[in-house]
């Protein structure tokens, strides 16, 4: 057998703009096997462990965004020095200036890469000039690691956290590869204390990690990718070619796709971290089981919603200045949360809709706080919440506002229920995948807990077998090209 030449190996292990490294890729699987083997050889030596994980994390980010890994290093150095300065300075005015510099640096970085063309387009629209977008590459995960690093300086300023002991430990926290490019957004006060602890992976952690990796793989590479390539993308790309019935199911499909895609990544990130002995926060908790929009945001992208609550909503005044100010703060928080997701008016509208809905929900709960919630109201609340979230997903997913208008027009004007038998017959495989995905999502928590305990208590060989079966299943459904994670774009 002929061994690969050096050039081929270098090319394989170099950054490819058209193929950024993904958790569900074969390259990551082999790199992780090599990495974890070395990790368990040196994990008892603290300095070597930190350097080893940090080096791999930076290399992982290089394979995701190329030389923009230097931006990650710069962000790390700047906020480490700022936090250290805040902690060591007794002068309150100097502390504020340092925090403002951290805000300007992190939000300025985010604004340049994500919003330069957005604001320039608005400006040219107002001034009547011709809009020619700048070619600005959006580094993968920049929205996540800037928020993560910014929360560290704010926590140090608020005296809720002491700075990291040294820059290597802080760099370890910021660049930890499982959650680096698409979350969950980790808080320094939850993670820094874990770095110096002896690495210990209990049977419970190992079983939970394997199960999360398997479920994440299946969610992303089987359910999400299949309904995306075979149904959802076609509907959203050309809404007018399909009836309102098909458009409606396209929306239901996208609701499941984005959940399986994003929560699948989070599951894999949390599972990989567990295999290394680190606990990351939960990021999704069956959000489509919510019976109100307030509950939905307690279950969806939990690390972002709590970040926005703790660092934006509370900073605006939270609920401390009366009822109407609370509604305004909530609305502003969700509007900016929408803008965080993307530099387009459709994301602003998406955030505004959720902000209005949260205000209405708060008002409704105040009116009915002494009334008992019966089963019928709970079911109705769940149905209304789910369909409102789906309605908002149209703005989130559509290419532009014209496609939003076309899709809504098809659903509300050209529904055509008469094609239902043909639709059910022609989309059997897609509808079966949709049904399976929603049934899994709506599985009661006690059933999920029982399955988790079975996996945890099973022998090591069975856990490995479960992982192999999941990988083989993914191989059966894999499309010609790997589908990137949706939140890699944000």
Strands (E), 226-360: none
pLDDT of residue 8: 67
Backbone angles phi, psi at 317, to 5 degrees: 125, -15
Residue 121: pLDDT band with limits 50, 70, 90: confident
Per the CB < 8 A criterion, the answer to whether 165 and 159 are in contact is: no
Query: Is pLDDT above 60 for 3?
Result: no
pLDDT of residue 253: 95
Q: Which whole number is the average pLDDT over 136-154?
A: 88
Percent helix, strand and coil across the chain, each to the nearest 5: 75, 0, 25
Length of the chain: 490
Instruction: State CA 386 to chain mean position distance.
Output: 19
Per the CB < 8 A criterion, the answer to whether 156 and 86 are in contact is: yes
Per the CB < 8 A criterion, the answer to whether 442 and 382 are in contact is: no
pLDDT of residue 487: 67
How far apart (Å, rounded) are the C-alpha atoms in residues 347 and 22? Answer: 25
Q: Which whole number is the average pLDDT over 278-290?
A: 92
Residue 339: pLDDT band with limits 50, 70, 90: confident
341 is catalytic: yes
How far apart (Å, rounded) are the C-alpha atoms in residues 85 and 99? Answer: 10
Query: Is pLDDT above 90 for 7?
Result: no
- Count other C-beta atoms under 10 Å from residue 428's C-beta: 9
Instruction: State CA 166 to chain mean position distance.
Output: 28
Q: Which residues of 352-385 are buried (b: 16+ CB within 10 A; e: fewer)?
A: bbbbbbbbebbeeeeeeeeeeeeeeeeeebbeeb
How far apart (Å, rounded) are the C-alpha atoms in residues 317 and 325? Answer: 8
Give per-residue pLDDT as tens, 430-476: 999 999 999 989 888 889 889 888 988 888 888 888 888 888 887 77
Poorest-pLDDT segment among 280-294, 302-316, 372-386 = 372-386
How far apart (Å, rounded) are the C-alpha atoms in residues 179 and 172? Answer: 12
Q: Is 177 exposed, middle or buried (0-12, 13-18, 19+ CB in 10 A)?
A: buried
Instruction: Report which of 14, 50, 8 is spatially closest to residue 31, judged by C-alpha positions.
Output: 14
Give per-residue pLDDT as tens, 78-93: 999 999 999 998 888 9
pLDDT of residue 171: 94
pLDDT of residue 418: 86
How far apart (Å, rounded) are the C-alpha atoms in residues 40 and 276? Answer: 8
Give per-residue pLDDT as tens, 362-399: 888 777 776 677 777 788 889 999 999 999 999 999 98
Residue given tokens 């929408």 in the structure block? 338
Query: Is pLDDT above 80 for 16?
Result: no
pLDDT of residue 165: 87
Give per-residue pLDDT as tens, 183-209: 798 999 999 999 988 888 888 899 999
Q: Spot the catalytic one: 301, 341, 354, 403.
A: 341
Torsion over CA: 488, 340, 262, 311 (sign): positive
Instruction: Report which of 273, 257, 221 is spatially closest to residue 24, judged by C-alpha positions.
Output: 221
Residue given tokens 């089981």 in the structure block? 289
Residue 2: pLDDT band with limits 50, 70, 90: low
């Amino acid at each position: 057998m002929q061994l690969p030449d050096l050039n081929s190996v270098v090319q394989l292990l170099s950054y490819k703009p058209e193929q950024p490294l993904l958790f569900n890729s074969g390259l990551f699987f082999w790199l992780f096997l090599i990495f974890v083997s070395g990790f368990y050889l040196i994990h008892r030596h603290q300095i070597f462990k930190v350097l080893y994980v940090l080096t791999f994390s930076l290399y992982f980010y290089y394979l995701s965004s190329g030389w923009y890994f230097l931006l990650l290093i710069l962000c790390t150095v700047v906020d480490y020095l700022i936090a250290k300065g805040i902690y060591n300075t007794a002068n309150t005015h100097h502390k504020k200036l340092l925090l403002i510099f951290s805000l300007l640096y992190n939000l300025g970085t985010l604004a340049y890469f994500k919003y330069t063309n957005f604001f320039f387009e608005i400006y040219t629209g107002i001034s009547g000039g011709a809009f020619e977008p700048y070619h600005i590459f959006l580094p993968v995960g920049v929205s996540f690691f800037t928020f993560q690093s910014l929360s560290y300086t704010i926590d140090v300023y608020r005296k809720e956290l002491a700075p990291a002991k040294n820059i290597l430990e802080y760099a370890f926290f910021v660049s930890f590869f499982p959650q680096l490019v698409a979350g969950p957004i980790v808080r320094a006060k939850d993670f820094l204390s874990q770095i110096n602890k002896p690495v210990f992976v209990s049977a419970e952690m190992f079983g939970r990690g394997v199960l999360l990796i398997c479920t994440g793989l299946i969610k992303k590479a089987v359910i999400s990718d299949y309904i995306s390539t075979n149904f959802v993308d076609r509907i959203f790309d050309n809404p007018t070619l399909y009836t309102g019935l098909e458009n409606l199911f396209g929306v239901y499909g996208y609701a499941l796709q984005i959940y399986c895609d994003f929560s699948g990544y989070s599951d894999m990130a949390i599972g990989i971290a567990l295999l290394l002995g680190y606990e990351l926060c939960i990021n999704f908790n069956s959000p489509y089981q919510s019976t109100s929009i307030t509950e939905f945001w307690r279950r969806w992208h939990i690390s972002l919603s709590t970040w926005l609550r703790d660092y934006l909503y509370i900073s605006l005044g939270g609920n401390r200045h009366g009822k109407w100010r609370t509604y305004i703060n909530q609305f502003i928080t969700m509007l900016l949360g929408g803008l965080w997701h993307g530099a387009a008016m459709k994301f602003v509208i998406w955030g505004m809709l959720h902000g209005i809905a949260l205000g209405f929900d708060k008002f409704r709960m105040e009116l009915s706080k002494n009334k008992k919630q019966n089963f019928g109201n709970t079911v109705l609340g769940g149905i209304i919440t789910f369909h409102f979230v789906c309605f908002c997903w149209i703005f989130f997913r559509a290419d532009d506002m014209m496609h939003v208008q076309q899709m809504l027009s098809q659903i509300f004007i050209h529904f055509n229920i008469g094609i239902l038998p043909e639709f059910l017959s022609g989309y059997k495989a897609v509808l079966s995948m949709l049904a399976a995905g929603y049934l899994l999502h709506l599985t009661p928590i006690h059933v999920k807990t029982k399955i988790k305990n079975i996996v945890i208590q099973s022998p090591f060989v069975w856990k490995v077998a479960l992982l192999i079966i999941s990988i083989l299943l993914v191989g059966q459904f894999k499309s010609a090209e790997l589908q990137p994670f949706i939140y890699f774009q944000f």
